[in-house]
Structure 1
Amino acid sequence: MAEKDSENTTNPPLLEFPCDFPIKVMGETQDIFSETIISLIQTMLPEFNASNIEMRASSGGKYISLTCTVTVTSQVQLDNVYRLLTSHPLVKYTL
């Protein structure tokens, strides 16, 4: 039986770029949360349109989640947006 040559096996990319990609950002409910997230995303993606955000409060109202649909041109760009968001003190989780 022939062994697989792992060097010649490539997995297809999970995403094709450019693409629209939804990022969910969660944090405690604060007046500045959504403005801060929009600002952060726009530092990396100046063309980001804030109307591409869906906002939802938790059942108790303590937390808020924003689903921000961003247009990215590469996996590196997407990873950089995630890094920027997760490093901010207002952000609890990103998905």
Structure 2
Amino acid sequence: MSDDTLLEFPCDFPLKVMGRKADDFATLVTGLVESHAGPGPDLRVSERLSRDGNFVALTVVVRAQSKSQLDAIYAELSAHERVLMVL
């Protein structure tokens, strides 16, 4: 375990990604995550709409291999113009 994280890798790590409701938002987010984590059955996605249906919150559970991988995923998601927030 590294000194700069309490996580032990590999581990399942949930990412909450929020944006405006669009038919392709989940595809966009999973594509960005898969560019760092690779495609595969380890990626689980659940979706929740806002009360008025204007926004969507995706929870993407990824099998993270390292802190640097998570940092890269967060950086790419946060930089995308259609992503409003990443937790």
- TM-score by structure 2 length? 0.89
Q: In angstroms, what is the RMSD of aligned CA positions?
A: 2.0
- Give the equivalent residue in structure 1 for 2:79: 87
Q: Which of 63, 66, 70 is the equivalent residue of 1:74?
A: 66
Partner amino acid, structure 2, of 1:14: L
Alignment coverage as a number of residue pairs: 86
- TM-score by structure 1 length? 0.82
Which runs of 5 or more residues in structure 2 are unaligned? Answer: none
Q: Which structure: larger Rg? A: 1
| Structure 1, 18-27 or 50-59: larger mean CA deviation | 50-59
Alpha-carbon shift at residue 46 of structure 1 (Å):
1.2
Alpha-carbon shift at residue 51 of structure 1 (Å):
6.1
Partner amino acid, structure 2, of 1:77: Q
Are positions 1:20 and 2:5 aligned together? no
Which runs of 5 or more residues in structure 1 are unaligned? Answer: 1-10
Structure 1 outlier segments of 4+, above 4 Å = none
Which runs of structure 2 are paired with 1:16-55 in the superposition (5 Å)? 16-49=8-41, 52-55=44-47
Alpha-carbon shift at residue 47 of structure 1 (Å):
3.1
